[in-house]
Chain A
Amino acid sequence: MASHLDPVFLARLQFAFTVAYHITFPAFTIGLASWLAVVEWRWLKTGNPLYAQIYRMWVKIFAVAFGMGVVTGVVLSYQFGTNWSVFSDKVGNIIGPLLGYEVLTAFFLEASFLGIMLFGWNRVSKRMHFVATLIVAVGTLISAFWILSANSWMQTPAGFREASGGMLLPTDWMQVIFNPSFPYRFIHMVTGAYLTTAFVVGGIGGYYLWRGWHVRHARIMLGMAMIMAIFVSPMQLLFGDMHGLNTFEHQPVKVAAMEGIWETEQGAGLRLFAWPDQIGETNRFEIVIPKLSSLILTHDWNGEVKGLRSWARADRPPVAMVFWTFRIMVGLGMLMIVTGLVALVLYFRKELFTTRWFHLWCMAMTPAGFVAVVTGWLVTEVGRQPFVVFNVMRTSETVSPVAGEAVAASLTAFVVTYGLLFTAAAYYILKIIGKGPDSDTMEDDAYGSHGVKKPPLVTDMAAQTGGKDV
């Protein structure tokens, strides 16, 4: 057990905390950026001002979430050096260029065009504004591409060789970038982000309908959210299954932990509930559906699933954490599918926008995506332990030569800071939701100035308002 000032333990805790906190914002903004692009496209296509009003409400929420993502993301990019300098030195030749490409292809794009998206209404044409939204949306996807490529490489390393001193050097970039688990991880994550956004938008739409506020806007929000739930949540089940099979092939020990299987079994059962005991190497109180695990993983009732005991104790991940977070993620995914099915039935009965209990249910599902993303991330990251690069490099060997006290102090500072920020961000987002889209005083006419050739400078504004210069 780690002592309370063990730098490895504290650095892991700090990384887990800062990543888990950070991931919730991209998980939301990736989906939101794409959705905003669709909303703005609908507005340009139909001219319906409802879409513009929805856009202008949600772009404010987007700005808060994006800002939080940026500031917490900068922290991560430096943490490789501050807390994991040995990792940076040994793996920098491979991970460094991947993260470098993320900055070059995505960060600048998002940061630059976000300015136009937020402040450019009266300075660029409608079409250019839409292009800016589209670019930001694509930027978030490119960002996800590189970050998941880097992460997947640490899960299923490929295209490298080990040189003297434990240095890992690239031998084939295509194999590094498109490593064996990358496609599955990327699709699973992006889909997760889309669903996260859908359930937030649907939850707020449901809330408005339930309260009888902004009903016309709320129907659009709930409707669009449920289209995502109906079509995309079953697809996510499929993608998740494919990802699981890929993990079974490349990281069987992780799957054994996810399934809570200790002894190698032919026809392994699916444990619905269990209390994994890491030291006793067994489960307490299990409820098992016979043979189902083998069927899912090997597509054969009697397929073999290797148990955790096949690996040395020192090579096993913390089982209970992986086992439970996996169940929470899958459970929430199932609830999303059910929500979509219910919405479909209600839609055909023309009751989707009037069924109050369903609107309450959508409100309850608002955080579902966030919880699923964070637990899913825990499954995959904790399941990789005790390795940082799976089967190649141990986490404990890669920490910086910094004092445990310094790591403890910075961890405390991050926890306090992030706590304050989360409170503030939640407060302002709730305020925006409270105001709603109607209260936006700018009517559609105000967008007429979109096509201006010359930006209205403040001198013109001051002349118009007769205001005194300050």
Chain B
Amino acid sequence: MFSFESFLDLPLIWYALISTAVFLYILLDGFDLGVGILFPFAPSDRCRDRMMNSVAPFWDGNETWLVLGGGGLFAAFPLAYAILMSAFYIPIILMLLGLIFRGVAFEFRFKATGRSQRIWDFSFHLGSLTATFMQGIVLGTFVHGIAVEGRSFAGGPLDWLTPFSLMTGAALVSGYALLGATWTIMKTEGQTQAWARKSARYVMLFVALFMGLVSLTMPLMNADIKNLWFSLPNFYFLQPMPILSVLFFILLWRDLRGEEREYRPFLLTLGIFLMNYIGIGVSTWPWLVPFKITFREAAAVPASQSMMLLGTAFLLPIILAYTGYCFWVFRGKASHEHDAAY
């Protein structure tokens, strides 16, 4: 049996890899879920067609990062996977149901006509909204902490339902909506783009509000997090994150008020997400089941982590390469033509 244990810090590598997979998921599925959240507010059916076409070739690949995040957690940290999935039982099921309704809408919407197309418009919207809200709830519950006894979840089925998790749910909805709006600015033009620009301005204010609220609540909720952020010298090291976030917001606001920037708003939104993500990562380090089990305690045996790493080291660059190729093939502005789709 091979093992890289003697010369690699396997749990740390896997912690980093899974964090990256989850982050890529948030960015990639974030924009297509965001498109779904904004969908019914678009000014016309043609706009909706364009928005759908702009994400149709990608959504399946984007969602695969969620499967990799879940599958990777299962493979590399089975204990954390077992506890977290039991704790998130109801939000995860609701998220999956949301993803189902959203996913099939891609196939059915263009095959439907007239009134029945409305059904799939709503299926796409409500599915995206539900999935996003539940992911936000999962995030809030994760940060908040989970009841554990021995190697099992020890809480009740509704432990996830707290004011804080509802707030993080709403926060993620506005965050994904901003990703979706800036993506739409990038991938469309004319009326659709103008509308997306206007929507992004509204949504951005909500994102700023929620970020402020979450940043205030987290240290108040947990003394460890407060110590981490406000003790010296950490305070100085961690400053770039809030400072960069504010800078990105200012630039984004200027871009959204102007008419010429098409790509930068999306990139700035990615930057804001990255800062937030690192902030949450720092706050919950080194816990994988916050405040109960660290990533080292939850790690699979070295033989299993090594086996997965061997393949990942070869395959991940290949996956990134052909994912990039697919984004390149479908570069440019989306059309409203669905006959041209296939």
Contact = CB atoms under 8 A, between A and B. Distances in A.
Interface of A: 56, 59-60, 63-64, 67-68, 70-72, 74-75, 77-78, 80-82, 85-86, 88-89, 91-97, 99-105, 107-116, 118-124, 165, 169-173, 400-403, 405-406, 410, 413-414, 417, 421, 424-425, 428, 431-432, 455, 457-459, 461, 469-470
Given A116-B57, A455-B331, 19 more contacts: A67-B104, A78-B92, A85-B82, A85-B85, A88-B85, A92-B300, A96-B308, A99-B75, A104-B319, A118-B342, A119-B56, A121-B342, A122-B340, A170-B307, A424-B104, A425-B108, A458-B337, A459-B189, A470-B191
B178 interface: no
A95 B75 CA distance: 7
B72 interface: yes
Contacts of B67: 74, 77, 103, 107
B243 to A, nearest CB: 36
A88 B342 contact: no
B329 to A, nearest CB: 5
A29 to B, nearest CB: 13
A105 B311 contact: yes
Scoring B61, B83, B331 by chain A CB atoms within 10 A of each residue's CB, the highest score goes to B61
A315 to B, nearest CB: 26
A122 B330 CA distance: 10
B32 interface: no
A26 B146 CA distance: 36
A244 B64 CA distance: 35
Contact of A425 (B63, B70, B104, B151): B104
Contact of A82 (B60, B93, B308, B331): B93
A121 to B, nearest CB: 7
Contact of B104 (A71, A75, A105, A400): A71
Contacts of B108: 64, 424-425, 428
A417 B274 CA distance: 35
A391 B83 CA distance: 26
Interface in B103-129: 103-104, 106-108, 111-112
5 contacts: A92-B78, A104-B311, A165-B151, A428-B112, A432-B111
Contact of B300 (A96, A101, A105, A123): A96
B61 A111 contact: yes
- Residue with the greatest number of chain A CB neighbours at <10 A, chosen from B66, B71, B301, B342: B71
Interface stretch (B152-160, B220-228, B257-265, B280-288): B152-160
Contacts of A89: 78-79, 81-82, 151
Contacts of A414: 97
Contacts of A93: 78, 300-301, 303-304
B114 to A, nearest CB: 13
A314 B316 CA distance: 46
Nearest to A425: B104
Interface string B284-301: 000000000000000011
Contact of B103 (A60, A70, A94, A406): A70
B104 A92 contact: no
Contacts of B312: 104
A403 B93 CA distance: 14
B206 interface: no
Contacts of B92: 78, 81-82
Interface of B: 1, 44, 46-47, 50, 56-58, 60-61, 63-64, 66-68, 70-72, 74-76, 78-79, 81-86, 88-90, 92-93, 96-97, 99-101, 103-104, 106-108, 111-112, 151-154, 156-157, 189-192, 300-301, 303-304, 307-308, 311-312, 315-316, 319, 322-323, 325-326, 329-337, 340-342
B85 to A, nearest CB: 2
Given A81-B74, A81-B84, A406 B154 contact: no
A74 B96 contact: yes
A89 B342 CA distance: 44
A108 B323 contact: yes
A97 B81 contact: no
6 A-B pairs with the lowest CB-CB distances in the bound complex, closest first:
A92-B78, A81-B85, A96-B75, A115-B57, A85-B82, A100-B75
Nearest to A107: B64
A103 B68 contact: yes
A434 to B, nearest CB: 12
Contacts of A75: 96, 100
Nearest to B113: A431
A121 B80 CA distance: 44
B331 to A, nearest CB: 7
- Chain A interface main SS type: helix
Given A88-B82, A112-B61, A470-B191, A105 B71 contact: no
Nearest to A455: B332
Most buried by B among A63, A92, A109, A123: A92
B71 A103 contact: yes
Contacts of A86: 82, 152
A104 B315 contact: yes
Contacts of A170: 1, 301, 303-304, 307
A455 B329 contact: yes
Contacts of B311: 100-101, 104-105
A402 B315 contact: no
Given A74-B96, A75-B96, A89-B78, A81 B70 contact: yes
Contacts of A72: 100
Contacts of A118: 56-57, 341-342
Given A88-B78, A107-B64, A115 B342 contact: no
B60 A470 contact: no
Counting chain B CB atoms within 10 Å of each CB, the highest count among A64, A116, A421, A458 belongs to A458
Contacts of A431: 111
Contacts of B326: 112-113, 115-116
B164 to A, nearest CB: 22
Given A78-B85, A81-B86, A119-B342, A94 B70 contact: no
Contacts of B106: 67
Counting chain B CB atoms within 10 Å of each CB, the highest count among A107, A121, A403 belongs to A107
Contacts of B300: 92-93, 96
A120 to B, nearest CB: 6
A128 B25 CA distance: 27
A121 B340 CA distance: 8
A95 B70 CA distance: 13
Nearest to B120: A424
Nearest to B190: A469
A72 B322 CA distance: 25
A85 B86 contact: yes
Nearest to A118: B342
Contact of A400 (B56, B86, B330, B336): B86
A97 B302 CA distance: 12
A107 B50 CA distance: 26
Contacts of B332: 455, 457-458
Contacts of A458: 50, 189, 332-337
